[in-house]
Structure 1
Amino acid sequence: MFVDMSTEMVYPLVPLYLTATLGASPAIVGVIEGLAESIASLLKVFSGYIGDVYHNKKRLAFAGYSASVIYKIFLLLAASWPGVLVARVIDRTGKGIRTAPRDALVAQSSDVKKLGGSFGLHKMLDMAGSSLGALFAYIFVATNFGFHKAFLFSIIPAVIGVLIIFAVREDKNRETVCEKLTLKGLKFDGKLKVYLAVIFIFCLGNSSNTFLLLKAQERGFSAAQVILLYLIFNVSASVLAIPSGKLSDRFGRSKILVPGYLIYGLVYLGFSFLSEKPAIVILFIAYGAYNAFISGAERAFIVENSPPGLKGTILGLYGMLQGIGLLLSSIIAGLLWDHINSDSPFLFGGIIGILSAIIILLILDKDNLIKFFRKTVKGA
């Protein structure tokens, strides 16, 4: 919560800083976000595996969260967009190191039947911190606090968050021994393989959130109002995260994941076709709902279908696929924005999102669909 508060104090400011102060184009913003995420994503699978083998998840999480402090320092020193790129790479590298071990710690501390609720709790605290950070970002912009002062102030909650990690306990006695990573060792359920492939395809249309902020600014929202929209998104995701996770525990993952991806597709199509300010506000709220629906249920599904002793590794692989997809999607979105129009990235992402929802329904609810069609045929 504290580290996300720190990160989100500056995240919505960075695209504004890049475009308004440093003169970067939307394409450059896309390259920065995509490169930072993809470079870091390659670390997720290795970090997850190291945590599985050496049972040092807490130390990896500590190292990864500490990078958030270093990121803010480099952001303070950046005087051009390459400097911002270096800062973002440091931040996302930290995320790459910490994400899989942290998720494995969450899974380790949770009852097997309550995984969705546990990841929902994590997401709720994550987005609550993001909401507070976005609120501070709004105050910074509304009061003309200044970019560099905001970057400096954001270091405080990051340090608090890192210090809290010392209170985390890792139960190494519950760990399954994992000798070494081999192709045989990575044998896992075919349903999970297909699901991971769908995630990668989906991520090709799921560009950085910075494009949503730039789109809102283009629709006539001021810089301060853009930050408020980002705050609304975070609050929406935080409020719905725990209920969504618990519902997936009770009714099954597909009942939450399919609507989540469908909401994403409709939201992106909305950004492409709608221009009225009230509609944009509703789209940001719905985007938060998508985020809440997906985060807990998806990670719970992956943990449930991962082989014993390699849960951190598979969670890292999941993060790596997301990061590589984000690199490609952000570059694609930037090029579409610059060379066609600003609506095209959202049209592309919306279509991909709806197709992903359909494929995930076929993967996770195949048996129920077959029964439904059989009944329909018999009835006819």
Structure 2
Amino acid sequence: MTASASAQIHTAPKRPHIPATVWMLGIVSLLMDVSSEMINALLPLYLAGGLGASALAIGFIEGLSVAIATATKFLSGILSDLSGRAKPLAVLGYGLGALSRLVFPWAVSLDQIVLAKAMDRVGKGIRSAPRDAIVAAVSPPEIRGASFGLRKSLDTVGGFIGPLVAVAAMILLAGDIQTVFWIAAIPAGLCMIVLVFFVREPAGECSMKRHGFRLADAFRLNRAIWVVIGVASPIMLARFSEAFVLLKALEAGFTPAWVPLSLVIMHAAYGLTAFPVGKLSDRVGTSGLLLWSLGFLIAAHLTLAFAATPWVYVLGTVLWGLHMGFSQGLLGAMIAAVTPEHLRGSAFGTFNLVTGVVVLAGNTLAGWLWHSVGSATPFLTGAGLSLVAMLFIASGQYRAKQG
């Protein structure tokens, strides 16, 4: 080997490692998701069985939760850019989510459940944009997809563990859902400890001072950001709340104590794919992977529409999880890639606001269709909307190549 060749080998740039802050935020997401999914896995059953709520009412509660979260996500993103500090808002958001865990066990009526869900969703709305802005700020551009994918994967590990704990607790506690809700407060408390003491916001992150942030800038995002939002919106419309997937489990032959296992399966598929798909997107781009995600969503909707046995239902949840793994991390990385540093909070807030309104419409439509026509109809409608979203993205990709 020549000296020059040896020098080239030694001076070749190394691919940067994912920052510790991203790992810590992933663990924060994991712990909060354990808590959330312990509740979410049982809440539709508690609403339908314990409180006598209809599918339409469940769809409305889910939709209202999204509406509350969307407004706070938008405002939180702007405040993050305006203050130049993201971590305090993240602490506030996760703190409200943790406090809501103390309300769910006491809730014995629909209005009390709405209150608890509102607290949780306000917290989620406040924390989402600042958290994503921190991930974007600490991640070099060449590994941004991997960073967002890793955080999503750790988040879904929580989504995997939470329902398992819920199933075990339901069996040990003879179906006492309210006691399971009390247990869900423990991982939420641990989440706050990790966030407060181990997540470090990057030094000099006061982007307002460096870039002269003006409030008007938050309402004049560039065209590239709106293109990403336009791509994400039809995807979100086609994918309604997992609450309807959980209700479908009862029709497929699951007993209430075992229904949370469907979320375990879904999040296993989600978590195992989000990180490798994020890494792959750093090399091959996002459009093709998003088309794959919609292909999985179409297959999931069609499978769940006609699921009459547990095994067919399990296949549908696996396909749903693959859709999530192929789409969720990519959308965050796409926003980060096209947004100026000093507007990241506003961009993520706007993204969450618009897509949240779309999800609200989708949830309300799904609840009405289930209540008025039948349980298969929301899934068949979702398959049709997924196909429309796929054609929309494919046509945009074709126009980009032609241009």
* Common fold: TM-score over 0.5: yes
**Which residues in structure 2 correspond to 1:5-20 (within 5 Å)?**
5-20=34-49
- The answer as to 2:232 corresponding to 1:202 is no
Instruction: State the SS of the aligned residue for 1:327.
Output: helix
Q: CA deviation at 1:184?
A: 8.2
Q: Provide the residue aligned with 1:290 in structure 2.
A: 323
Say whether 1:270 aligns with 2:303: yes
Pairwise CA distance, 1:364: 4.0
Structure-2 residue corresponding to 1:256: 289
Letter in 2 for 1:36: S
Q: How many percent of aligned residue pairs carry the same amino acid?
A: 32
The answer for the alignment partner of 1:94 in structure 2 is 123
Q: How does 1:208-287 map to 2 (within 5 A)?
A: 208-287=241-320
Give 1:170 shift: 1.0
SS, match of residue 259 in structure 2? helix
In structure 2, relative to structure 1, the CA distance for the partners of 1:227 and 1:187 (3 Å cut) is closer
- 1:265 and 1:104 mapped to 2: Cα distance? 31
Q: Secondary structure at the match of 2:78?
A: helix
Query: Conserved in 2, the CA contact under 8 Å of 1:248 and 1:255?
Result: no
Larger CA deviation: 103-112 vs 140-149? 140-149
Verify: 1:188 aligned to 2:217, yes or no. no
The DSSP-based 3-state class of the residue aligned with 1:204 is helix
1:23 match: secondary structure: coil
1:115-165 Cα offsets, whole Å, 9 max, x none, are: 110011101110111111111111122332511111111111101101111
1:4-63: CA deviations, max 9, x gaps?
Answer: 111111111100111111111111111111101111111111101111121221010001
Q: For 1:184 and 1:156, how far apart are their aligned partners in 2?
A: 37
1:171 maps to: 202
The residue identity in structure 1 corresponding to 2:187 is: P
- Paired with 2:124 and 2:212, the residues of 1 have a C-alpha distance of 24
Matching of residue 155 in structure 1 with residue 185 in structure 2: yes
TM-score by length of 1: 0.92
Shift of 1:216: 1.6
Q: Which residue of 2 aligns with 1:24?
A: 53
Instruction: Provide runs of 4+ in structure 1 moved above 6 Å.
Output: none
Cα displacement (A) at 1:264: 1.2
Paired residue secondary structure (1:221): coil
SS at match of 2:339: coil
* Other-structure match for 1:350: 383
Distance 1:307 1:240 in 2: 28
Distance of 1:162 and 1:334 partners within structure 2: 34
1:148 maps to a residue whose letter is Q
From 63, 76, 79, the equivalent of 1:47 is 76
- Structure 2 segments unaligned to the other structure (5+ residues): 1-29
- Please report how far the alpha carbon of residue 289 of structure 1 lies from its aligned counterpart in structure 2 after TM superposition: 1.0
Q: Give 1:365 shift.
A: 5.2
CA distance in 1, matches of 2:183, 2:200: 29
The question of whether the paired residues in 2 share the 8 Å contact of 1:3 and 1:158 is answered with: yes
Aligned residues: 369
1:146 corresponds to 2:176: yes
Distance 1:362 1:196 in 2: 16
C-alpha separation between the residues in 1 aligned to 2:217 and 2:351? 16
Distance in 1 (CA, whole Å) between partners of 2:399 and 2:258 is 44
**Alpha-carbon contact 1:47-1:101 (below 8 Å) kept:** yes
Q: Which moved more, 1:193-202 or 1:73-82?
A: 193-202
Shift of 1:308: 3.5
Distance across 2 between alignment mates of 1:307 and 1:31: 36
| Segment of structure 1 superposing worse, 60-69 or 304-313 | 304-313
